[in-house]
Amino acid sequence: MKSFISRRAVIAAAVLSTFGLAVHAQAWPAKPIRLVVAGPAGGSADILARLVSEPMAKELGQPVVVDNKVGAGGAIAVQDIIQSPHDGYTLLVGVSSLVSEVPHIVKLKFDMAKELRPLAELGRGGLVLVANPTVPAANLKDLVAYAKKNPRLVYASYSPGSLSHVMGQQLAQAAGIELVHAGYKGSTTALTDVMGNHVPLMFDGVPTSLPLIKGGKIKALAVSTPARLPQLPDVPTFREAGYPQLEALAWMGLWSAPDVPAAVQQRVRAAALKALADPALRAKVQETGFDVGQPRTSDEMQKGLAVDYERIGGVLNAIGFKPE
């Protein structure tokens, strides 16, 4: 009899728990949602965040407010997520390197992989190596030759610890040249210095560099994507230029704290995927230089991040890189 009562109690508790989650999901959101962007206004993360924020707001029935947080390879933005209530009202848009690369390069007081859960992949793309137009190099071969004659050539990244930073280290190691890293707080300020010839080179996300390339303010030497970009058909890939180890893709994700209620996570993910399914929004994403994200599950994204973390760690160990 006691066993029967115990089983009934367990079943009742499970039903109440499920009912509670359902009620919570229906009640959420009851106020505006803050979308913390790991990057500055006008950067790649910001571009995607603003594209999806409006359709997500319509779907969820509450404003989605973009809040840019820059610095420390995205760690400042992640700290905001950690310190805010884990109720789904504070979400993050940031690049996959937050988990796969930044922990190798920036000394952190917390574990990115344990503090973030990817909910949806918003977009994916590679980087482009750009230069000030006065740099005497029409292609990557010319640049390597120039760098050998001019050691300690400076290159900018949009943030220390990002793929933009790592790729410069990889190119230096692969080509046998010496490149000096200059880390910035976002693409906008870095690109301003490249255009002003204060820094000759930069590895940047395509969305932020593309308008400047088309306007002739900077020039593109190579892209890290597996194939040439339709937006830059005359720019070869790193693989074509003889550096297959610089082939790389990153994805921009929508993240939450891992202990946000599961039902809320699902609502956020569903709203993001619905936004990305709209043909007009997909066209806008592609115009920026991104490809639309793949509809992978959170578990699939986490497994991929773990693989990328190990791969990047191997690359950095091979070149003797030490955290900053």
Q: Are strands 90-95 and 250-256 parallel, antiparallel or unpaired?
A: antiparallel
Two tokens, residue 6: 């115990």
Coarse DSSP helix, strand, coil percentages of the chain, rounded to the nearest 5 percent: 50, 20, 30
- Domain coordinates in residue numbering, the chain: 32-124+250-318, 127-246
Largest CA distance in the chain: 87
* Residue linked to tokens 């990002």: 162
Mean pLDDT across the chain: 90
Of the ranges 9-13, 134-138, 161-165, which one carries the lowest mean pLDDT score?
9-13
Higher pLDDT, 67 or 166: 67
Domain range 127-246, CATH class: alpha beta
Helices (H), 65-139: 75-83, 97-100, 102-105, 112-115
- The predicted structure's pLDDT at residue 22: 46
Q: Note the CATH number of domain 32-124+250-318.
A: 3.40.190.150
For residue range 262-277, what is the model confidence (pLDDT) as tens digits?
999 999 999 999 999 9
125, 225 Cβ separation under 8 angstroms: yes
Q: How confident is the model at residue 324 (pLDDT cuts 50, 70, 90)?
A: low
Whether 32-124+250-318 and 127-246 share one fold: the answer is yes
Instruction: Tell me 73's DSSP state.
Output: G
CA dihedral (133, 137, 138, 144) positive or negative: negative
Could you report the per-residue pLDDT of 279-317, keeping only the tens digit for each? 999 999 988 888 999 999 999 999 999 999 998 888 778
Flag whether the pTM goes above 0.85.
no
Lowest mean pLDDT among 5-14, 102-111, 125-134: 5-14
